[in-house]
Amino acid sequence: MMSMKMARIAVALASVSIASGAIPSAAAKDRPVSISFALTADGRDVGCGAPLTNLGAGRLESKLHDARFYVYGVKLIDAKGGRTPITLAQNNWQLADVALLDFKDARGGNAPCTETNPPKNTAVTGTAPAGSYVGLEFSVGVPVEGTSEGKTIMLNHSSTETSPPPLDIAVMAWNWQGGRKFLLVEVDPPSYVTKPDGSKTKTWMVHLGSSGCKGNPATGEIVACARENRFTVTFDRFDPKTQRVELDLTRLFAKTDLLVDKGGAVGCMTAPDDPECPAIFEALGLNLVETAPGANDAGKQTKAGASPVFNIGPAKTTSSLARGRQ
């Protein structure tokens, strides 16, 4: 083993490790890559049915109900800023360039995640050319199409009934035209959520996906969406031995009253006129509506490569919550 020339990246919402031999060359062989993802709240790792402390504008004691999201376009960044795509392993959690991260209890229960009770899937695996990398880039969402086994396939606007995993999960889709829910986070506050008509419901939901979509994919029409709502996260520098990337639920819900829903679907389900969505989209780093008439930037990222809910934190490489389990 050439220990003096090992290339290792550790990140968790992303922990990457690549065993590397020599400096990259045209003949450099691909090496295994593993990227682990973590979910945090109030500075702690959470997952499964974990309690969530100090959540939302009211700093409430809540509970995680569900958390899953798709990522694609995962790339390693070298010291010169060059991007090297990771070729994803094809399995039940990964198809073409897309991977699903699922923080639900793998046992189907409602207990917090532990080392002996891990979440379903918190790792993206694949290969990349041996080399020295200093950063990571990935996008949240599902692209319109991708390549699998040398063929172009439809991804976002495809039927859950006929798609292979992980695009076959009905709860992670709107409908064939609307496409997938890119990010789904649901929490249960300590008391019921009150709706405008006085009725109550148990769970406050964030469902992010494209909206304003037109076209019928069932008849072969190309679907175009007015608001794509995909976004990219870029980290140019991090310490591979001491840092990781985290999805922070505290930031996601920082300006949200989890006990009240003022209209539309409960929580934020991407609608541009939903009163709960402005705070959520601000946290994600997305424009809910146009910033100015004619700007044509609704559903676009506020700042390229940045999303306030993603940050780098201390790596916890010995924890199965950081590593995940396939």
The per-residue pLDDT for range 285-326, each reduced to its tens digit, is: 999 999 999 999 999 999 999 999 998 877 775 443 333 333
Residue 325 lies in a domain: no
Structure confidence at residue 322 (pLDDT): 34
At 125-137, the pLDDT tens digits run 999 999 888 999 9
Residue 322 lies in a domain: no
For 299, residues 6+ apart whose C-beta sits below 8 A from its C-beta are 210, 211, 212, 225, 226, 227, 228, 229, 286, 287
Count of structural domains within the chain: 1
Report if residue 324 sits inside a domain.
no
Q: CA-to-CA distance for 35 and 101, rounded, in angstroms?
A: 11
Tell me if 212 is assigned to some domain: yes
* Residue 199 included in any domain: yes
Q: Does the predicted TM-score (pTM) go above 0.85? A: yes
Q: In what order do the strands lie in the sheet with 38-41?
A: 44-46, 38-41, 243-248, 310-314
Burial (CB count <10 Å: 0-12, 13-18, 19+), residue 290: middle
Distance from C-alpha of 195 to C-alpha of 193, rounded to nearest angstrom = 6
pLDDT at 239: 54
Residue 323 lies in a domain: no
Q: Of 71, 124, 77, 99, which is closest to residue 307 (Cα–Cα)?
A: 71
Domain encompassing residue 7: 3-21+30-42+49-315
Closest alpha carbon to 160 in 141, 148, 177:
177
Do 24 and 132 meet the contact criterion of CB atoms below 8 Å apart? Answer: yes
Is pLDDT above 60 for 77?
yes
Nearest to 269 by CA among 214, 210, 217, 310: 210
Looking at residue 219, what is its pLDDT?
A: 79
Residue 154 belongs to some domain of the structure: yes
Q: Is residue 320 part of a domain?
A: no
How far is the C-alpha of 102 from the C-alpha of 295, rounded, in Å? 35
Residue 2: is its pLDDT beyond 90?
no
- Residue-wise pLDDT tens digits, 214-271: 988 877 777 899 999 999 999 987 654 567 778 999 999 999 999 999 999 999 999 9
